[in-house]
Amino acid sequence: MQAFFLPASLGQRLCVLHAPAAGQPQRGCIIYVHPLAEEMNRCRRMAKLTAHALAEAGFAVLQMDLLGCGDSSGDFADATWDAWLDDLTLARQWLAGRYAGSLWLWGVRAGCLLAAQSAASTPELPLRLLLWQPVVSGRQHLQQFLRLRQMSELVQGGGDSGGTQELLQQLELGQSVEVAGYAMGGRLAQGLAEATLDRVGGALQLICLEVVPPDQQQCPTASPAVAQQMQRWADAGISATASRVIGEPFWLVPEAQIPLELIHATVAALVGA
């Protein structure tokens, strides 16, 4: 594992490279696309363990903190959707210049929306998508994120910032809105709100993996939202597979137990691709 800073617009990006294990056939390259705000921090341990397992299986895995996130340059308020897409382009170029084989974008939650849009922006360069617990609607995810502020105000008994619609209007006017310690700017909010999973460019393969608690292990292979998205992909001629594994919602629960089944399912799916 190698950590380094990659020069980029508005500073530099912290990257962690998990090189393919010695003696393993080189199977391809993977770029991890982290989720939004605090979900990113809660996913760090799970992402690290999975990246290590994938590297042991022969993949080169690159983790990058996007602009304004983690230890990369800038504050969260500096982040825009387009800047994050540029960061992914930079990561793709860096990784492709050093490793051969198929390229995967591995998105988690809102990172799935970003990965899909990155794939759609370069249909002439086919790649593969691995989507963990995908957010299907960027607009709905933005509204859920803004509700965190309202919930916090209710718990603390402080001032009332108004409903979600008022916060959306502030963002549309170019104002920043602080939610759970993260100041989101209007350009980032607009990009997120417009993002969907419908367009995935020339993706050669698309795999969705979701986590469900033990009491739901008899549920169908996909949540209703993902099942509907799968149908939209099928209608557009896009082939995709979906499955679920047992585990805790590690992106929501601090110190959640690691769902090892998800790691195993991920490695098996990519090795068998």
- 66 shares its domain with 119: yes
The domain boundary residue, chosen from 151, 178, 194: 194
pTM: 0.94
Q: Per-residue pLDDT tens, the chain, 273 aa: give them.
A: 999 999 998 999 999 999 999 988 899 999 999 999 999 999 999 999 999 999 999 999 999 999 999 999 999 999 999 999 999 999 999 999 999 889 999 999 999 999 999 999 988 888 999 999 999 999 999 999 999 887 766 666 655 556 788 899 999 988 899 998 999 999 999 999 999 999 998 889 999 999 998 877 666 788 999 999 999 999 999 989 999 999 999 999 888 889 999 999 999 999 998
Q: Are residues 9 and 73 in the same domain?
A: yes
Asked if residue 41 and residue 126 are part of one domain, the reply reads yes
Is the torsion defined by CA of 197, 13, 262, 182 positive or negative? negative
My answer on whether 200 and 164 are in the same domain is no
Amino acid identity of residue 63, one-letter, is Q
Which tokens go with 179?
């939610």
Q: Domain check: are 209 and 85 in the same one?
A: yes
- Identify whether residues 27 and 49 lie together within a single domain: yes
Q: Residue 173: which residues within 8 A CB-CB, separation 6 or more?
A: 186
φ, ψ for residue 212, nearest 5 deg? -130, 150
Same domain assignment for residues 48 and 87: yes
Residue 117 sits in which domain range?
A: 2-136+196-271
* 241 and 121 inside one domain: yes
Shared domain for 265 and 149, answered yes or no, is no
Q: How many structural domains is the chain composed of?
A: 2
200 plus 169 within the same structural domain: no
Q: What angle do CA 231, 236, 238 make, to 5 degrees?
A: 80
Q: State how far the Cα of 76 lies from the Cα of 73, in Å rounded to an integer.
A: 10
Q: Are residues 170 and 254 in the same domain?
A: no
| Whether 82 and 211 share a structural domain | yes
For every residue of 213-265, DSSP letters joined together read: -GGGTTS-SS-HHHHHHHHHHHHTT---EEEEEE---TTTSTTPPP-HHHHHH
